[in-house]
Chains A and B, each alone.
Chain A
Amino acid sequence: MIVFEKPKALTDVPLHYCPGCTHGIIHRLVAEAIDELDILGRTVGVAPVGCSVMSYDYFACDMVEAAHGRAPAVATGLKRAMPDNIIFTYQGDGDLASIGMAETVHSATRNENITVIFVNNAIYGMTGGQMAPTSLPGQVTQTSPYGRDIATAGYPIRVSEMLSTLDGPAYIERVAVNNVKNVKNAKKAILKAFRNQVEGKGFSLIEVVSTCPTNWGMTPAKALEWVENNMIPYYPLGVYRDKYADAKEG
């Protein structure tokens, strides 16, 4: 009996990501959620600008490539036109939390019934390792060569916490993919975010703390450790907002 194989919602196109980049794991988790909910035929994904720009080749559902940061607006259009389809965006930290912050906040506050997968690896990967809105204080990048100086570059943005202050969104959770246990939790969260949409519950965002071995200048194994020791303390994992659970408790 097969206990683990590639999900059907991924195509056979080999991923272009660097060795050990956890984008591949997150792609797989999204695809597994699509498979398990049996929604491949009615799902439309929106790819971002950044390392995962070519995810339109990897997901087997219909795909749209959005301009940098605009994926939630594109997804809004798709969902309003086709409310019975399942619409998701897959975005990095520069895309979602910098240039696309307005689109992110407003799609959340409108409680658009979409699923947002937010990959936070604290750096711009595609352009070669520049400072991101989520780069940690002191983090060395190509554009913060002396470390991120909070006096001039400000503080990293905790997206999940910030969006959870809004009344709109249905579900917000931060997960990580740095070990087997966390990957399994991430899977549950992503599945829930898609199921919420199927059930018409509204805007769900899963922030996935991820790696960039190449631009962090680490081996893939060291990058996973860096997530544990540096990223997770600044970006604590957990459920930040669950409107329906809160309602039950209340």
Chain B
Amino acid sequence: MAEKVLMKGNEAIAEAAIKAGCRHYFGYPITPQTEIAAYMAKRMPKIGGTFLQAESEIAAINMVYGVASAGFRVMTSSSSPGVSLKQEGISYIAGSDLPALIVNVQRGGPGLGGIQPSQSDYFQATKGGGHGDYHLIVLAPASVQEMADLTVKAFDLADKYRCPAMLLADGTMGQMMEPVVLPEVDTAPVEKPWAVTGTKNARPHNIINSLYLKPDQLEKTNFERYEKYRQIEENEVMYESFMMEDAEYCVVAFGITARISKNAVIAARKKGIKVGMIRPITLWPFPTDAIAKAAEQVKGFLSVELSMGQMIEDVRLASGCRRPVLLCNRTGGMIVSPEEVLAKIDELVAL
């Protein structure tokens, strides 16, 4: 049994990335994720890897694009305003079918917003974020252990499907300290015949590109990419179901709010309310089928979010609007309390 170590969420991400074979990190300082960069700055030179503090978020993501083009595991991390800057590069990475990991330790917005935790980049993360038709695989950890495990998972999925993956955490998860068992990773290299490693005068030149001047070719590429997305939706949905067997009400929450909501669910059960929780672990692909199935069983949903209500739209869509969906939210860096969630559950029951 591997040893448990006490780590901050941000550090767990960094160490897990190294375990997953990532040897190239590019970033730019921004609160509340700077520990990732600081950790990488310490570790990478000792293991023959690259840590580079870029001149901007834009440069950092384009350095990621360069390393990903060469077929190596690579990552960047930032927080909300910085992730906005990265969107150009993320769109190019998606449009060129490159695997890479982007970590967003969210803070409040819009604009410069604040430095306290938030989940208000849900739309940006799950609906595309940059220009054009594309998706990221979006993973939402709810513990320091998951910060580590899902980092490894994100690299594997990105390689498997040749697409960028995002770890969508928040300031609380990043700063939180918990015992964690660092994952042992089988780093068998994935074949990447498309990578630009030099032709060695032995094959035609490889081109990493997202430009298609002929519209029929761009359309064909987009349709093919969406076929890949359909496979991801079919095979890679992850969620946690909590006390849903006999539930009459369903809380939907991810990340830090799922931890808080779990306490509220337990408190509601003590009061005799049959409530359960679905915690999406993949925000894209969203656990649509699980929510749809729950809609046949429960009388209503409660979406708990640190935003003005973003995931609630996916809950409504997935449930086919067959049941009422209430919102329990705080925003701007404020954190929802178990009591507030419980009060909303009461409201849902009273409908």
Q: Which A residues touch B199, using CB under 8 A?
A: 40-41, 60-62
Name the residue in A11, A79, A82 with the highest tally of chain B Cβ atoms < 10 Å from its Cβ.
Answer: A82
Of all chain A residues, which has the CB nearest B66? A77
Q: Which B residues touch A82, using CB under 8 A?
A: 70, 197-198
Q: Within 8 Å of chain A (Cβ to Cβ): is B187?
A: no
Q: Do A62 and B66 touch (CB < 8 A)?
A: no
Residues in B92-139 with C-beta less than 8 Å from chain A: 92, 96
Q: Which B residues touch A67, using CB under 8 A?
A: 62, 65, 88-89, 92
Q: Which B residues touch A53, using CB under 8 A?
A: 211
Give CA–CA (A62, B142) in the complex, Å: 41
Pick 13 A–B contacts, CB within 8 A, sort by A.
A46-B66, A56-B209, A60-B199, A61-B199, A62-B196, A62-B206, A64-B65, A64-B207, A66-B92, A77-B62, A81-B67, A81-B70, A85-B198
Q: Within 8 Å of chain A (Cβ to Cβ): is B52?
A: yes
The total of Cβ contacts below 8 Å across the A-B interface reads 134
A189 vs chain B, min Cβ distance (A): 24
Q: Which A residues touch B273, using CB under 8 A?
A: none
Q: Do A42 and B198 touch (CB < 8 A)?
A: yes
Of all chain B residues, which has the CB nearest A8? B201
Interface 1/0s, chain A 60-76, versus B by CB < 8 A? 11111111001001111
Q: Do A66 and B62 touch (CB < 8 A)?
A: yes
Give CA–CA (A206, B209) in the complex, Å: 25
Q: Within 8 Å of chain B (Cβ to Cβ): is A149?
A: no
Q: Within 8 Å of chain A (Cβ to Cβ): is B69?
A: yes
A239 vs chain B, min Cβ distance (A): 26
Q: Do B59 and A70 touch (CB < 8 A)?
A: yes
Name the residue in A42, A61, A74, A81 with the highest tally of chain B Cβ atoms < 10 Å from its Cβ.
Answer: A81
A34 vs chain B, min Cβ distance (A): 11
A65 vs chain B, min Cβ distance (A): 4
Q: Within 8 Å of chain A (Cβ to Cβ): is B271?
A: no
Q: Do A62 and B59 touch (CB < 8 A)?
A: no
Of all chain B residues, which has the CB nearest A80? B50
Given contacts A77-B63, A102-B56, 12 further A-B pairs with CB under 8 A are A42-B200, A44-B69, A56-B209, A57-B207, A60-B205, A61-B199, A62-B207, A73-B62, A77-B24, A77-B66, A81-B67, A102-B55
Give CA–CA (A2, B279) in the complex, Å: 71
Report how many residues on chain A are interfacial, defined by Cβ distance under 8 Å: 36
Do A62 and B64 contact each other (CB < 8 Å), given the known contacts A70-B58, A70-B59?
no
Do A64 and B59 contact each other (CB < 8 Å), given the known contacts A40-B201, A56-B207, A81-B24?
no
Q: Within 8 Å of chain A (Cβ to Cβ): is B348?
A: no
Q: Do B65 and A80 touch (CB < 8 A)?
A: no
Q: Which B residues touch A56, using CB under 8 A?
A: 207, 209
Interface 1/0s, chain B 42-71, versus A by CB < 8 A? 000000001010111011101111111110
Give CA–CA (A194, B196) in the complex, Å: 19
Cross-interface CB contact of B198 among A62, A66, A106, cutoff 8 Å: A62
Q: Within 8 Å of chain A (Cβ to Cβ): is B74?
A: yes
Q: Within 8 Å of chain B (Cβ to Cβ): is A122?
A: no
Q: Contact residues of B with A, CB < 8 Å?
A: 24, 26, 50, 52, 54-56, 58-60, 62-70, 72, 74, 88-89, 92, 96, 196-202, 205-211
Q: Do A65 and B62 touch (CB < 8 A)?
A: no
Do A64 and B63 contact each other (CB < 8 Å), given the known contacts A42-B198, A85-B197?
no
Q: Do B66 and A73 touch (CB < 8 A)?
A: yes
Q: Do B72 and A63 touch (CB < 8 A)?
A: no
Q: Do B211 and A74 touch (CB < 8 A)?
A: no
Give CA–CA (A56, B207) in the complex, Å: 7
Q: Give the 5 A-B CB pairs with smallest separation, nearest first.
A: A77-B66, A73-B62, A62-B196, A77-B63, A106-B55
Cross-interface CB contact of A78 among B52, B58, B67, B206, cutoff 8 Å: B67
A76 vs chain B, min Cβ distance (A): 5
Q: Do A64 and B198 touch (CB < 8 A)?
A: no
Cross-interface CB contact of A73 among B54, B96, B200, cutoff 8 Å: B54
Q: Do A103 and B209 touch (CB < 8 A)?
A: no
Name the residue in B24, B50, B206, B208 with the highest tally of chain A Cβ atoms < 10 Å from its Cβ.
Answer: B208
Of all chain A residues, which has the CB nearest B69? A64
Q: Within 8 Å of chain B (Cβ to Cβ): is A171?
A: no
Q: Do A77 and B205 touch (CB < 8 A)?
A: no
Q: Within 8 Å of chain B (Cβ to Cβ): is A124?
A: no
Residues in A149-186 with C-beta less than 8 Å from chain B: none
Name the residue in B60, B62, B70, B208 with the highest tally of chain A Cβ atoms < 10 Å from its Cβ.
Answer: B62
Q: Do A65 and B210 touch (CB < 8 A)?
A: yes
Q: Which B residues touch A81, using CB under 8 A?
A: 24, 50, 66-67, 70, 72, 74
Q: Do B63 and A73 touch (CB < 8 A)?
A: yes
Give CA–CA (A63, B211) in the complex, Å: 13
Q: Which A residues touch B201, using CB under 8 A?
A: 40-41
Q: Which B residues touch A70, using CB under 8 A?
A: 58-59, 62, 65, 88-89
